[in-house]
């Protein structure tokens, strides 16, 4: 009688977060026997690339670039000269690392890794409205419902996570909701799995009634029935898929909680991420989860941090926000580095837009939205470290050089993963769709 | 109905005599635009096998490749197949017994089964969901400000009722485009027709879009997209910003069509922030007030009833502790009425700000397709569009419809890309059969039930589904066997409830969505029914961007997308659902309780068959509840063979 192991070995591919297309979707034009295809099996990229996975840290609300990563001495002067409502940085900037890139005092820990960061000071988005800009950043369109960046990437590359989803989003933000990690017209297996920090999220992972032994017996019973069905109907490879899905599901009952169990991490690692400090616990937890998932081969990991919409009280609020992520991100970079994983993990940090150069309305101590020029940064996976790309004008509200729009950003991320953004297409409604629609230019200057 | 037929008839005559100057198109005209000519029914070698002309088309093609159909499915398999296909539920044990032991010949016995299922009210609930997939049905607008559609369910129920009443498909189509403009003999009929236009108002729109004209053009685009793809399998919305890249459709054609919808007013109950309606993003003023007399003007309500009907109504209540429910008004629905009549200026590159001369609305000249009847100066043209679309000689409407029906019974369309009959779509595997069916459909009065009955009584439908990887047509392109079909979310969940004796067969009353689309506990739009509630799945609210996890796990299509063919995936979370979900656990206990302590009884109830002696032995290793749960998780239960 075949054992579980022999059945697993009888199939040719690893089954990741296993999924098959239906038999009936395959025959398209072929008279040949349909092949069982796992759409999430790892795929070869278009060309060799350094980045194998992405950790995307989304800062909801629009973090101020002018007080963090975009140094504007002219703006301070304009404030001193009382020109209009201009407002200089509320934090002091310093050259950091060997590269001397300018980062404000809001990020003391992260600044220590300046030589790993690639600042993108010429970011631009089309709208100054939170929801639309957020959705555009995630799916490439503010006007249509489209698959999210993570879904496209998993569609293009599959996943290397044996028993985990290929696309995970931890504590997703409200603006745009499920659209930000949805698959739209791509099959649902490519959409992001939503987790909340501290575990939970993947439903139905444990059984309250059956012991492990009882459940194993139950699964053996199901599998025997399925194998019998398959032997009588060998032309139906989907049954093979169902058999595999049970084995994987059984494994996931232990592997997912194990991955999410941060108590397994030694104290010195927990300290690196600031897990035991109240200000940094929330984002530190997300960062540490991200590292554990990255190690297991999850392809696209998204982290969410809310609360960056500082229309007033910018100094205090922004300082608090920066503190909440500063140590966790620094810890993550250091931890990935010591595991030799930073080189193939692409970290992306940023919000839906930046903030304006002038005071916002009363009480005149915050900034409004600014999509015309702002900063995101990347680190690891094939980007230059200690590098500043692009710039805004002297007052910091309009991107002037090295401009990266939404489609350019996506084209660049795909390129770093070895995907030609013009060739990653999906046919729907009679035409080939792309994450980058009909434009997008790779920011070649930032490639290491 | 007589009136409608008369109108359609006149329209058909008119179309035949009028011509427009043909434009030049670079792209070739696909097969599907060509007139449907009555194909000759082929002669087959094995004259004893076919039961219907359908079978002759199938067999002739197989014989061409020296292939033969597989044997027939057993009566046991057949009744299960028919029951799931028509009702989305398993047959009762009595139904199975009666059919299996019916001494009448197979043809007669099976015809009785099909007839009984077609008369069941469960039929409409099963088949309506197929249509709702196509028309991007949802109970909220989605996107940036996700306001609830308080009256979408009314359209959903209209689809169910239309199918149960076997409303002729041409009328079903016409009412969704121009129900408010079609003649009616009774006020009930008029109200019913207007509810059909709700389909046009279900689009996912950005209510916070700052430019009202942009919003309107987006709405028109959604309507062109759904109308052209759902009814004609054409992707006309591709021509919004430029001439179509693959179809012989120009940008001018697009704006000629756009003028029709641009001259209409869409009343979804969720107005854009610049709309004239008051009440916030949820507003009864932006709904249709159904007429109570035949000659009554159709439009938004002039006077609002007491109760909670808008976002403003909720806001004036301050910050209530309890969830505020909207009051249901039997006179309200979503829909479309006539608006300010004017042609739509062509938007260069799709840009609102860059406009050129408006083409005359309705005056499009897509090659091979008949031209639209002349639109009167004071009409939007929706009535003429509906007449045009449903004329018996329209080459696409009937082809697309029968192909969709075929797909739901056979698992795969004759044209595999059911929503795309254009250049980029796949070619029909059996082009003559498709045309044969299209003609039969129209000649049979566009009766959906009649078409379903015909297909199901064919020999082709009754074939066994056993596959064979060595077969020269292993993918079954030529239909030598039936395709096994995966049980979708709805029949799967409904069956679990049914087996446990818990399925409620009534419709939930009142408005089952709450929220305003904003933030916070009372703002976020959500459905009031969860997967634990005993209603059939079609009645559970579908809130965009907040679809229950279980739905996505079992391939429920994204409710902003037009999706006539669902994905079928096999993922581990599906297995986890059967293994560990608390609802499955509870229902398994209920089912086990109903079967006594009898393993055979469990097999009969869950799988509809007797267990083998080996199965009885193996089953003895598990307690009864664990056994039920195991059987629910087997591939045998999750497929229709």
pLDDT digits (tens, 9 = 90+) for B135-170: 999 999 998 899 999 999 999 999 999 999 999 999
Q: How confident is the model at residue A118 (pLDDT cuts 50, 70, 90)?
A: very high
Query: Each residue of B320-350: pLDDT tens digit?
Result: 888 899 999 999 999 999 999 999 999 999 9
Q: How confident is the model at residue A200 (pLDDT cuts 50, 70, 90)?
A: low
Position B13 scores a pLDDT of: 38
Q: How confident is the model at residue A83 (pLDDT cuts 50, 70, 90)?
A: confident
Position B406 scores a pLDDT of: 98
- Which of B411, B552, B633 has its CB closest to that of A188? B552
Query: Each residue of B212-230: pLDDT tens digit?
Result: 999 999 999 999 999 999 9
Position A39 scores a pLDDT of: 66
Position A40 scores a pLDDT of: 76
In this model, does residue B39 exceed pLDDT 90?
Answer: yes
Position B23 scores a pLDDT of: 55
Partners of A188 on chain B (C-beta within 8 Å) are 552-553, 555-556, 558, 567, 569
Q: How many Å apart are CA B139 and CA B151, to the nearest integer?
A: 8
Query: Each residue of A367-405: pLDDT tens digit?
Result: 999 999 999 999 999 999 999 999 999 999 999 999 999
Position A429 scores a pLDDT of: 78
CB–CB contact A204 B420 (8 Å): no
What are the tokens at B85?
Answer: 């296909």
CB–CB contact A25 B568 (8 Å): yes
**Per the omega criterion (within 30 degrees of 0), is the bond before A363 cis?**
yes
- A11 to chain B nearest CA, in Å? 15
Sort A1 into a burial class: Cβ within 10 Å, 0-12 / 13-18 / 19+.
Answer: exposed
pLDDT (average), residues A94-118: 98
Torsion of CA B346, B347, B348, B354, to 10 degrees: 120
- Which of B142, B474, B571 has its CB closest to that of A189? B571
- CA B604 to chain centroid, in Å, comes to 32
Share of chain B above pLDDT 90, in %: 84
List the domain boundaries for chain B.
Answer: 25-32+144-297+330-389, 54-124+395-485, 570-641
Q: What is the DSSP letter of B234?
A: -
Partners of B546 on chain A (C-beta within 8 Å) are 177-178
In this model, does residue A23 exceed pLDDT 60?
Answer: no
Query: Each residue of A204-220: pLDDT tens digit?
Result: 999 999 999 999 999 99
What are the tokens at A327?
Answer: 């140590």
- B3 to chain A nearest CA, in Å? 35
CB–CB contact B411 A203 (8 Å): no
Which DSSP string corresponds to B428-490?
A: PSSHHHHHHHHHHHHHTTT-HHHHHHHHHHSTTTTB-----TTSTTTT-TT-SSPPPEE--HH
Position B497 scores a pLDDT of: 98
User: Could you give the domains of chain A?
Assistant: 40-202+280-446 (3.40.720.10)
- B637 to chain A, any CB pair closer than 8 A? The answer is no
ipTM score assigned to the predicted complex: 0.91
Query: Each residue of B243-270: pLDDT tens digit?
Result: 998 899 999 999 999 999 999 999 999 9
Sort A29 into a burial class: Cβ within 10 Å, 0-12 / 13-18 / 19+.
Answer: exposed
Partners of A20 on chain B (C-beta within 8 Å) are 569-570
Strand order from edge to edge, sheet including A300-305: A193-195, A167-170, A300-305, A53-59, A345-351, A374-380, A117-123, A387-389
- Which of B411, B547, B634 has its CB closest to that of A24? B411
Q: How many Å apart are CA A54 and CA A60, to the nearest integer?
A: 18
Tokens 């398993």 belong to B90
Position A186 scores a pLDDT of: 85
pLDDT (average), residues A91-109: 97
Q: What is the DSSP letter of A395?
A: T
In this model, does residue A257 exceed pLDDT 50?
Answer: yes
What are the tokens at A222?
Answer: 């199901």
Query: Each residue of B485-513: pLDDT tens digit?
Result: 999 999 999 999 999 999 999 999 999 99
pLDDT (average), residues A28-45: 56
Cα–Cα distances in Å, from B264 out to A380, B114, B258, B267? 54, 42, 10, 10
pLDDT (average), residues B403-409: 98
CB–CB contact B627 A21 (8 Å): no
CB–CB contact B580 A205 (8 Å): yes
The set of residues, in sequence order, having a beta carbon less than 8 Å from that of B166 and lying 6+ positions away, is B447, B448, B449, B450
Partners of A185 on chain B (C-beta within 8 Å) are 558, 561, 563
CB–CB contact B630 A17 (8 Å): no
Position A25 scores a pLDDT of: 35
> Is residue A183 within 8 Å of residue A191, measured between CB atoms?
yes
Share of chain B above pLDDT 70, in %: 96
**Which of residues A276 and A131 earns the better pLDDT score?**
A276
CB–CB contact B545 A177 (8 Å): yes
Position A198 scores a pLDDT of: 60
To the nearest whole number, what is the mean pLDDT of chain A?
88
- Which of B218, B412, B425 has its CB closest to that of A430? B425
What residue of A is the nearest CA neighbor of B422? Answer: A430
**Residue B168, SS3 per DSSP:** coil
Tokens 């932006």 belong to B286
What residue of A is the nearest CA neighbor of B628? Answer: A218
Q: How confident is the model at residue B14 (pLDDT cuts 50, 70, 90)?
A: very low
Q: How confident is the model at residue A7 (pLDDT cuts 50, 70, 90)?
A: very low
To the nearest whole number, what is the mean pLDDT of chain B?
93
Position B143 scores a pLDDT of: 87
Q: How many Å apart are CA A334 and CA A332, to the nearest integer?
A: 5
Q: How many Å apart are CA B440 and CA B433, to the nearest integer?
A: 10
Q: What is the DSSP letter of B543?
A: -
User: What pTM, to 2 d.p., does this model score?
Assistant: 0.85
- CA B590 to chain centroid, in Å, comes to 33
Q: How confident is the model at residue B116 (pLDDT cuts 50, 70, 90)?
A: very high
Partners of A146 on chain B (C-beta within 8 Å) are none
- B36 to chain A nearest CA, in Å? 22
CB atoms within 10 A of CB B331: 13
What residue of B is the nearest CA neighbor of A183? Answer: B558
Q: How many Å apart are CA B501 and CA B271, to the nearest integer?
A: 42
């Amino acid at each position: 009688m075949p054992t579980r192991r022999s059945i697993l070995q009888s199939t040719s591919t690893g089954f990741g977060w296993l999924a098959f297309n239906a038999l009936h979707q395959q025959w398209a034009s072929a008279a040949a026997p349909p092949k069982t295809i796992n759409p999430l099996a790892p795929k070869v990229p278009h060309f060799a690339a350094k980045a194998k996975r992405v950790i995307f840290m989304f800062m909801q609300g629009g973090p101020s670039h002018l007080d963090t990563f975009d140094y504007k001495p002219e703006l301070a002067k304009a404030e001193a000269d009382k020109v209009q409502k201009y407002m200089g940085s509320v934090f002091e900037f310093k050259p950091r690392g060997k590269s001397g890139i300018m980062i404000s005092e809001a990020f003391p820990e992260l600044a220590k890794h300046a030589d790993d960061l690639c600042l993108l000071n010429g970011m631009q988005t089309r709208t100054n409205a939170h929801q639309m800009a957020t959705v555009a950043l995630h799916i490439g369109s503010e006007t249509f419902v489209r698959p999210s960046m993570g879904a496209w990437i998993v569609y293009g590359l599959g996943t290397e996570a044996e028993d985990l989803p290929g696309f995970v989003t931890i504590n997703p933000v409200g603006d745009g909701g499920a659209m930000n990690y949805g698959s739209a017209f791509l099959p649902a297996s490519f959409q992001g799995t939503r987790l909340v920090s501290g575990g939970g999220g993947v439903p139905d992972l444990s059984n309250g009634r059956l012991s492990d032994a009882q459940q194993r017996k139950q699964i053996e019973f199901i599998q025997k029935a399925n194998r019998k069905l398959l032997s009588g109907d060998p032309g139906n490879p989907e049954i093979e898929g169902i058999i595999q899905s049970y084995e994987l599901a059984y494994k996931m009952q232990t592997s997912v909680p194990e991955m999410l169990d941060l108590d397994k991490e030694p104290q010195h690692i927990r300290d690196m991420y600031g897990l035991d400090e109240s200000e940094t616990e929330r984002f530190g937890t997300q960062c540490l989860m991200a590292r554990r998932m990255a190690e297991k081969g999850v392809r696209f990991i998204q982290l969410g941090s809310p609360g960056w919409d500082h229309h007033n009280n910018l100094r205090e609020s922004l300082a608090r926000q920066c503190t909440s992520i500063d140590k966790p991100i620094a810890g993550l970079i250091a931890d990935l580095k010591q595991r030799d994983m930073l080189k193939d993990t692409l970290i992306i940090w940023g919000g839906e837009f930046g903030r304006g150069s002038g005071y916002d309305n009363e009480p005149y101590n915050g900034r409004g939205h600014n999509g015309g020029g702002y900063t995101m940064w990347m680190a690891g996976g094939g980007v230059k470290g200690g590098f500043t790309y692009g710039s805004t004008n002297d007052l910091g509200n309009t991107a002037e050089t090295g401009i990266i729009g939404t489609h350019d950003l996506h084209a660049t991320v795909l390129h770093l993963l070895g995907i030609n953004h013009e060739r990653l297409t999906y046919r729907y409604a009679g035409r080939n769709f792309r994450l980058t629609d009909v434009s997008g230019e790779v920011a070649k200057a930032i490639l290491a | 109905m007589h009136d409608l037929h008369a109108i359609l008839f006149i329209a058909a005559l008119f179309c035949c005599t009028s011509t427009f100057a043909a434009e030049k198109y670079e792209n070739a005209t696909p097969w599907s635009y060509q007139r449907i000519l009555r194909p000759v029914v082929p002669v087959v070698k094995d004259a004893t096998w076919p039961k219907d002309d359908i079978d002759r088309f199938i067999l002739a093609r197989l014989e061409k490749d020296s292939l033969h159909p597989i044997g027939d499915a057993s009566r046991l398999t057949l009744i299960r197949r028919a029951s799931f296909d028509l009702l989305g539920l398993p047959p009762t044990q009595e139904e199975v017994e009666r059919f299996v032991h019916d001494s009448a010949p197979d043809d007669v016995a099976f015809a009785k089964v099909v007839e009984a299922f077609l008369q069941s009210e469960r039929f409409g609930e099963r088949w309506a969901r197929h249509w709702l997939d196509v028309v991007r049905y949802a109970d909220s607008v989605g996107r940036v400000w996700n306001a609830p559609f308080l009256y979408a369910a009314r359209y959903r129920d209209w689809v169910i009722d239309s199918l149960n009443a076997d409303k002729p498909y041409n009328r079903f189509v016409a009412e969704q485009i121009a129900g408010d403009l079609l003649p009616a003999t009774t006020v009930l009929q008029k109200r019913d027709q207007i509810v059909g236009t709700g389909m046009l108002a279900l689009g996912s729109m950005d209510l916070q879009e700052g430019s009202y004209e942009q919003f309107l053009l987006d709405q028109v685009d959604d309507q062109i997209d759904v109308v052209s793809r759902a009814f004609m399998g054409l992707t006309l919305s591709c021509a919004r910003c430029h001439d179509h890249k693959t179809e012989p459709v120009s940008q001018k054609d697009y704006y000629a069509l756009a003028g029709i919808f641009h001259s209409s007013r869409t009343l979804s109950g969720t107005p854009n922030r610049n709309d004239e309606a008051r009440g916030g993003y949820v507003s009864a003023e932006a709904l249709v007030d159904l007429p109570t007399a035949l000659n009554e003007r159709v439009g938004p309500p002039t006077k609002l009833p007491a109760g909670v009907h808008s976002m403003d109504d909720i806001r004036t209540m301050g910050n209530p502790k309890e969830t505020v429910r909207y009051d249901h008004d039997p006179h309200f629905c979503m829909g479309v009425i006539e608006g300010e009549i004017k042609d739509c200026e062509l938007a260069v590159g799709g840009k609102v700000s860059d406009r050129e001369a408006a083409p005359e609305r309705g005056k499009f000249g897509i090659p091979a397709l008949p031209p639209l009847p002349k639109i009167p100066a004071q009409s939007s043209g929706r009535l003429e569009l509906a007449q045009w679309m449903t004329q018996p000689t329209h080459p696409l409407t009937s082809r697309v419809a029968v192909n969709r029906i075929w797909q739901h019974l056979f698992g795969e369309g004759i044209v595999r890309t059911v929503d795309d009959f254009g250049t980029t779509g796949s070619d029909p595997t059996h082009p003559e059969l498709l045309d044969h069916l299209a003609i039969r459909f129209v000649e049979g009065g566009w009766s959906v039930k009649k078409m379903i009955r015909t297909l199901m009584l064919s020999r082709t439908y009754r074939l066994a589904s056993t596959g064979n990887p060595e077969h020269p047509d292993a993918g079954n392109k030529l239909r030598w066997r039936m395709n096994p079909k995966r049980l979708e979310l709805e029949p799967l969940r409904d069956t679990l409830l049914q087996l446990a004796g818990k399925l409620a067969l009534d419709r939930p009353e009142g408005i089952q969505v709450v929220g305003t689309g904003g933030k916070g506990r009372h703002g976020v739009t959500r459905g009031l029914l969860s997967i634990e509630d005993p209603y059939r799945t079609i009645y559970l609210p579908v809130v965009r961007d907040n679809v229950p996890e279980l739905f996505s796990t079992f391939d429920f299509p994204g409710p902003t997308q037009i999706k006539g063919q669902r994905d079928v995936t096999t993922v581990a979370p599906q297995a986890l659902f059967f293994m560990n979900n608390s609802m499955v656990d509870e229902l398994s206990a209920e089912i086990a309780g109903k079967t006594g302590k009898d393993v055979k009884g469990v097999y009969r109830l869950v799988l509809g068959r007797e267990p083998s002696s080996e199965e009885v032995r193996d089953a003895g290793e598990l307690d009864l509840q664990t056994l039920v749960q195991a059987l629910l998780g087997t591939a045998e239960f999750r497929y229709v063979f």
